[in-house]
Structure 1
């Protein structure tokens, strides 16, 4: 039997979100129903509401979530009812070119649940990032469920489902930052500060946070930044070079995703250094770079999608590190809210007042 539960939807572009009744079908083959315990409010959800992803309204919002598996469909072996899981938006196929090469973190054929959740009138919903977790329980592909230690607080664990993993992975997986390295992170919201926390854990010696907001720079200090630069008051490239003996940083992470920040990242890296783009640009944005500099500097220009993570490998590891007190996962939580508070949380996010609001159910 299907279930009818409360969930948060965006009905049309720019409209305030609504809490409505949502029909969740029983899981079919390869699917699972998860009772949501907590879900972070991510900027991607706001992008969906504003029509910045696509126009497949109405959207069921929310995707940074943790909860307990309630039921599974035929053929599911990854999880069983009662498992505490973090949801991910890249269930790997195991068969594509990337998976066949032993690189499932780059899977070219990730998938979601085949059935649709609907409004009570039968209108099909588009779940954000194939999850839709501002809801009491949701339907996903079983491969989107990653089992982790149930001792982890759900509100913190769920943040690994997107923003924290994206930032941590941008620094550690994509950027390869290691002991003694220097790193600069441009943009110190949730993703940027996760990159800083990851670099701290990896043993980077010089960690430079760049932002236009002193409040965010103070957050960055808390996550391990050794230096901060307000780029409204100083030239970011010159400041990063000055803090790295005139060389530039080994790794520069652009957690904003604008042409001007990418150009800053490009010019602020050392010879043979690495630029990592993890901030999401708008579709119409373009950059112009001097090709001779691209050639002459060497190194690498990389994009980091979901922090190049493999959820089955990375989620349990980071949960264990958090439980050991070695990774400050709970420090990303600014406030705990209900489903009725999501619209207010978007407003606070827009004004840079929070790292993460977390819906608790």
Structure 2
């Protein structure tokens, strides 16, 4: 895998070469295991440009001359944004359809989930008993007043969760839920998901919202291991559903100069081998139902994913943002 410095080198589209050019919003070290395995199996080289921000804008600016074949990103909102901007194309593949459940792929075949993550509760081992919180609705119980921490309510991860609340209960009920959650906060929303676990460790709050994979990341960081060991993972559910899920996903660009090889890469991502490699590298759940979880992820236990199609949640993102701004959740 070649990693191209974004400011110094421009990829040039060369259809004759056996290669796949990838624009990724995931850090290179997180996708390196999968790109290296793909190249070893197929002989097709991968070139990765890391774009923390502005992926869709860059593709739009490059237009039909874009050298990118594939985009890899996280969160349903970012995948949907790319589709809405017209920078992706539909892909017909029996392999992708057979291996990826319908709730984790676009109905129009524009994007496909690769791995999933759950939006869960991190609970203090010392101050929260087993079974004290089991649903997202539990988070608005007055007993949690001054005991909850979270990042910004307008962060994409929380907006996706609020979109799910709207989907299940309607806008007004979701607004009441968000107001109840805000009333129970121990401090103003701040930091990332790991910062909330640190706050639990420090005694500032007792539970927090976070994505599952951060547990794996904290356990790998000597400075954060103590934070991780102070909490346990709880998989809350909606009363009429399951645990809220989100995806890391892949899409083929509308300009893809190496379409055939790009399709091979997408289908490789859905294979049992790649699912195991990618999910373990990122501490996420394989999207393929029968693919094995890593030992760490499996240790978190079983849960029931919410069956709502993520495209439906992406369509509610604007409503979720409006709701959180109306109640000044971060204020």
TM-score bucket of the superposed structures, by smaller chain: 0.3 to 0.5
**Structure with the largest fraction of strand:** 1
So what's the TM-score if we normalise by structure 2? 0.32
Larger RCO, structures 1/2 (Cα 8 Å, 6+ apart): 2
